């Protein structure tokens, strides 16, 4: 179950990286790509949450879940900025994207570390 969460979060990271490339290189965003990025990450968080509540507790999994929830809140802020009065095709501020990505990658590393070192 944790391996499925790792795969889902890794896929979400790859989609997020593609969103960053679109934002930095082409100065535009893709709402469909952002929605699939968020949906896959939420599915991974659901799988991780289910495992945490069903299986024995592993502290690194709990820490990873907390960091992913923080990354989720950062992603919601980025979504709110995108849907605000700004032009819809422009990317969100890259400093916010950087914090969101750093939290998500930290959570993924904690998850992988917990999986490889039981």
Instruction: List the chain pLDDT tens, one digit each, 118 residues.
Output: 899 999 999 999 999 999 888 878 876 777 788 889 999 999 999 999 999 999 888 899 999 999 999 999 999 998 888 777 665 666 678 899 999 999 999 999 999 999 998 7
For the four alpha carbons of 4, 8, 13 and 14, in that order, the dihedral sign comes to positive
Closest-CA residue to 19 (of 7, 6, 31): 31
What pLDDT sits at residue 87? 58
Residue corresponding to tokens 């535009």: 28
CA atoms within 13 A on the CB side of 79: 14
Six-digit token pair at 68?
A: 């992913």
Stated length of the chain: 118
For residue 69, give the nearest of 83, 48, 54 by alpha carbon: 48
pLDDT at site 100: 95
- Read off the DSSP letter of residue 88: T
Residue for token pair 């969101």: 100
d(CA 68, CA 82) in angstroms, rounded, equals: 21
């Amino acid at each position: 179950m944790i391996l499925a969460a790792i795969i889902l979060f890794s896929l979400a990271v790859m989609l997020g990286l593609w969103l960053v490339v679109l934002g930095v290189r082409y100065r535009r965003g893709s709402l469909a790509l952002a929605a699939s990025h968020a949906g896959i990450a939420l599915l991974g968080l659901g799988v991780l949450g289910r495992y945490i509540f069903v299986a024995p507790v592993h502290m690194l999994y709990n820490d990873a879940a907390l960091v992913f929830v923080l990354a989720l809140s950062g992603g919601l802020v980025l979504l709110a900025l995108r849907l605000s009065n700004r032009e819809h095709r422009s990317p969100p501020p890259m400093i916010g994207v950087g914090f969101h990505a750093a939290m998500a990658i930290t959570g993924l590393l904690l998850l992988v570390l917990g999986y490889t070192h039981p």
